[in-house]
Amino acid sequence: MTDSRSYRWLSVLSVAGFFGAWYVVNAAHLAPANLLPSMQEVWAALLDILHNGYRGTTLWENAAATLGRCLGGFVLAAIVGVPLGLWMGRSPVLAASIDYILQFMRPLPPLSYLILLILWLGTGDTSKVALLFLAAFPTIAMAAMAGVRGVNRQRIQAALACGATRAQVFRHVVLPSCLPMTMTGLRIALAVTFSTVVAAELMTASNGLGWMVFSASQFLRTDIVLLGVLILGVLGMALSRALLSLDLWLVHWRGRD
């Protein structure tokens, strides 16, 4: 982290290089204009959508819809996944009973069962939040479980020799010990949730950034498609950095212990 900070200018430069290349390709007419709109066109599309909205929806509405689904599914998965994972770490019986189910679900592409959820729960937000919950929760639960299993035994013994009860060991040693691993699990799960929500909106939705991109693509409005992709990328980056900041603040001992 600290090492890469002195090379931050390089990161900025590469972004500038990307926009530069985009500009050159357009200016030199290296690609058909209807397939690769120019930066100015995308900028104009942004201003247009900010002022007039897109097919009766505002940009904020779409961004809020996407974020709301994403965070709804993620928070639900965290609320269920973290306690379940902690419990699994403590109870080999519980861990064994859910192990295969989690292992089956974790690598499964969520979109493969989206259609089932839509049939069962309808095309509204319920099926999407359920999808995101299922996409995120195995990763979170398994990370929390690994956290419990990886607790340093001597820390537990040191606490016991300070007079800790079993409950106190859990509260004052096991829980904080799990924090680094659990936070890592949450960060991976958030990335999964975000990419899944957009994909789900591409398939079925009446608002959201994914829907906007999909709808624009049907009208061959590549300027709006590109704009949507850029907004999604920046939004995803912001989400993941917010969680990273929380992680660095909470788990201040990460990598130094």
Partner 1 sequence: MPDATDGRRLVAGEVFVSFAGVGVTYGSGAGRVPALEGISLDFAAGDFVCVVGPSGCGKTTLMQSLAGFLKPSSGTVSIDGRPVDGPGADRGVVFQQPALFPWLTVGGNAGFGPMLRGESRAARAETVEQHLRTVGLWEFRDRYPYELSGGMQQRLAIVRALVNKPKILLMDEPFGALDALTREKMQEELHTVWRRTGMTVLLITHSVEEAVYLGTDVVVMSARPGRIVERIAAPFARREGERSSRETKSLPAFVALRERVLSLIWQSAET
> How many other CB atoms sit within 10 Å of the CB of residue 117?
19
Which single residue is written with the structure tokens 């295969």?
Answer: 100
Q: For partner 1, which stretch binds (CB under 8 A), given 55-63, 139-147, 170-178, 203-211? A: 170-178
CA 173, distance to chain mean position in Å, is 29
**Among positions 173, 189, 227, 232, the unique one binding partner 1 when judged by CB under 8 A:** 173
> Any contact of residue 172 with partner 1 (CB under 8 A)?
yes
**Among positions 155, 188, 195, 229, the unique one binding partner 1 when judged by CB under 8 A:** 155
CA-CA distances (angstroms) from residue 38 to 30, 35, 108? 11, 10, 38
Torsion of CA 75, 78, 81, 84, to 10 degrees: -110
**Among positions 64, 179, 188, 244, the unique one binding partner 1 when judged by CB under 8 A:** 179
> Any contact of residue 12 with partner 1 (CB under 8 A)?
no
> Any contact of residue 160 with partner 1 (CB under 8 A)?
yes
**Among positions 34, 152, 206, 245, the unique one binding partner 1 when judged by CB under 8 A:** 152
> Any contact of residue 170 with partner 1 (CB under 8 A)?
no
> Any contact of residue 248 with partner 1 (CB under 8 A)?
no
Write down the least CB distance from residue 185 to partner 1, Å.
18
What residues pair up with 57 in beta bridges, in sequence order?
54
CA-CA distances (angstroms) from residue 87 to 2, 11, 28, 82? 36, 42, 61, 9
Write down the least CB distance from residue 223 to partner 1, Å.
50
CA 69, distance to chain mean position in Å, is 11
Decide: 189 and 240 in contact? Cβ < 8 Å.
no
> Any contact of residue 2 with partner 1 (CB under 8 A)?
no
Which single residue is written with the structure tokens 């799960």?
Answer: 189
Residues that bind partner 1 (CB under 8 A): 152, 154-155, 157-165, 168, 172-173, 176, 179, 252-253, 256-257
